[in-house]
Amino acid sequence: MSEQPEKRTILITGCSSGIGEATAYGLKERGYRVFASARQAKDVEQLEAAGFEAVQLDLADSDSIRAAVETVAEKTGGTLDALFNNGAFGQTGAVEDLTREVLRFQFETNLFGTHELTNRVIPLMRRQGYGRILYNSSVLGLVAMKYRGAYNASKFALEGLVDTLRLELRGTNIQVVLIEPGPISSRFRDNSYRLFQQNIDAEHSVHRDAYRAIEERLQKQGPVVPFTLPPEAVLKKVIRALEARTSKIRYAVTFPTYLFAVLRRILPGRALDWVLSRI
């Protein structure tokens, strides 16, 4: 991508808040032509008002994905330098309290929508002969944590899908990159709390005592775990992933990601469980 002379184009999902929003602003400031997408019309309007070429894109809706890619392709003349698959949410709740529908809903956005969008973008990149596809995964795509089963499963699945895609795209000049943030301040917790209340029957669960502590944590303002970084820390890694001649496969963001990436390699499974069960 560093060889492309014109203003580089990127489509980003989930730009209404947090990492997506910070990345959209940061890349625009750096001279990129940013197609900032959001799920809700009010956020699309706000992004437009802020000077973005804003697009409505709901990852849980195939028609919305198709229309968004068509709109972007029309505006660029059928090209797109980069895609940042960022939009996602975290459904909190014990594995045994997740209904099939709730688990499916988590996958609809975090995995299936991301997959479908990527598959609509790859043909543009194949035609132009290059491209970069970035995915916002998570430290929770590397290790599991209690009450994060739905989210863990969606990010583990994403890691598997992307690892495969990378092998299949070898030699195409389309580079595929996983960004691995740990705790980042954003609206993630607020959104998780809303979905927890909506989808988990906490009062009738064997986990209800643990849920009280979780609800308290989800409602807290500001960082609740050490080593939390602002979303601009992710922006920095995104810029590296976009602009390195050859990007790395994974970019860790925050100390906990580095730590758990190492621990999962060196610790026996039971020892890793012991560490993770204390978090």
Catalytic residue set:
151
Contact status: 91 vs ligand NAP (CB under 6 A): no
The tally of CA atoms less than 13 A away on the side-chain side of residue 110 is 25
The single residue among 39, 115, 120, 148 that binds ligand NAP, judged by CB under 6 A, is: 39
Q: Smaller CB distance to ligand NAP: residue 187 or 217? A: 187
The single residue among 28, 50, 60, 66 that binds ligand NAP, judged by CB under 6 A, is: 60
Contact status: 149 vs ligand NAP (CB under 6 A): no
Question: Contacts with ligand NAP: how many residues (CB under 6 A)?
Answer: 29
Contact status: 106 vs ligand NAP (CB under 6 A): no
Contact status: 59 vs ligand NAP (CB under 6 A): yes
Contact status: 9 vs ligand NAP (CB under 6 A): no
Q: Which residues make beta-bridge pairs with 133?
A: 83, 176
The single residue among 156, 183, 200, 211 that binds ligand NAP, judged by CB under 6 A, is: 183
**Residue whose structure tokens are 């949410």:** 89
* 3-state class (DSSP) for residue 132: strand
Residue in 76, 73, 33, 72 with CA at minimum distance from that of residue 56: 72
- Residue whose beta carbon is closest to ligand NAP: 18
The single residue among 11, 27, 184, 235 that binds ligand NAP, judged by CB under 6 A, is: 184
Q: Check if the beta carbon of residue 150 is closer than 8 Å to that of residue 103.
A: yes
Q: Check if the beta carbon of residue 9 is closer than 8 Å to that of residue 35.
A: yes
**Angle, helix 62-76 to helix 114-128, in steps of 10 degrees:** 20
Sign of the CA dihedral running 167, 169, 172, 175: negative
**Residues in contact with ligand NAP by the rule CB under 6 A:** 13-14, 16-20, 38-40, 57-60, 86-89, 109, 113, 136, 138, 181, 183-184, 186-188, 191
